[in-house]
Structure 1
C-alpha cells in the first residue's frame, strides 16, 4: 500500500461508517485492507471513496453480493462502469429502473398525503382542532 495509511478508527471517522460495519464490509469482500504483523488493519485513501460508494449502493437497495461484483468495475476516480463489465450493466440498469419506480411511487404517496393534510384539520393532543399549516 502506497501513500497515506489509515487505521480502522480513522477510516470510520472519515467515512462516517462504524468500525463494525467496516469489518462486515471486509467479510463481504467489499474492502481488502492490508494487515500488519500485529493484526491491525491498514486502509488507504481509496478505501474512503470505496466505503462511500458501498454506502450509496446499499442505500440504493443493492445487496452486498451485487456490490462486490460492481465495485471492481468502477473506474478509480469517477465511478464509471469500465469496459468488460457489460454483463453487470444490465443488472445496474434494472436497479436504476427499480429505484426510479420506487421514487415515483413515493412521490405519488407524498402528493396524496399533502393533499389530505391541506384538506383536513388535525386534532391536537389537548383536543382542539387545528390546521397543520397554521400555529395551534
Structure 2
C-alpha cells in the first residue's frame, strides 16, 4: 500500500509517517519509481508507535524497543533485543503506564457500578403508556 493508504488506515498523517521513517521506526519498501510502499504489518506497527508515543515514550526509546516487541509478537528469538540507552527512562514510562492502568481499572469499576445502579433504577421505575420510564418518585 502507498503512504496515503497507510495514513488512511491508521489516522496518521503522511508527513508524520515520513518522520517515523526518518527517525528509523518505520521502514517502507521503495518501488522501482521510488515511491514508498508498505505491507499490512505496517498498520499494526504505526498503531503501536502511536500508542507508545501516547504513553510517553520518545522516538529514540521506541526505536530501541520495537525490535524486541516484534520478536515477542512473532515468538521468535529476541536477538534484536538490546538494552535501551535510557533504561531508567523506559522504567519510568513503564511505571507511568502501570499507574494509568490502575486508575483506568478503578474508573471502569466505578462506571460499571454507576451503570448497574442506573439500570436497576430504570428497571424498577414504572413506565408510562408509551413504554418510557416516568419520573422516579422521591
Which TM bucket (shorter chain)?
Answer: 0.5 to 0.7
Q: Which runs of 4+ in 1 moved over 6 A?
A: 102-105
3-state secondary structure, aligned to 1:24: helix
Distance 1:79-1:59 versus aligned 2 partners, 3 A rule: farther
Aligned length, in residue pairs:
102
Distance 1:41-1:58 versus aligned 2 partners, 3 A rule: same
* Match 1:47 to one of 42, 45, 57: 42
Normalised TM-score (structure 1): 0.61
Question: How many angstroms apart in 1 are the aligned matches of 2:54 and 2:18?
Answer: 18
Match of 2:83 in 1: 87
Question: How many angstroms apart in 2 are the aligned matches of 1:68 and 1:41?
Answer: 20
Normalised TM-score (structure 2): 0.60
Tell me which protein shows more helix as a share of its residues: 2
Question: How many angstroms apart in 2 are the aligned matches of 1:86 and 1:8?
Answer: 30
3-state secondary structure, aligned to 2:62: helix
Tell me which protein shows more strand as a share of its residues: 1
Match of 1:57 in 2: 52
* Match 1:13 to one of 5, 8, 11: 8
Match of 2:26 in 1: 31
* Match 1:97 to one of 87, 95, 101: 95
Question: How many angstroms apart in 1 are the aligned matches of 2:99 and 2:68?
Answer: 25
5+ residue gaps, structure 1, are 1-5, 106-136
3-state secondary structure, aligned to 2:57: coil
Q: CA RMSD in A?
A: 3.1
* Shift, 1:36, TM fit: 1.4
Structure label with greater radius of gyration: 2
3-state secondary structure, aligned to 1:29: coil
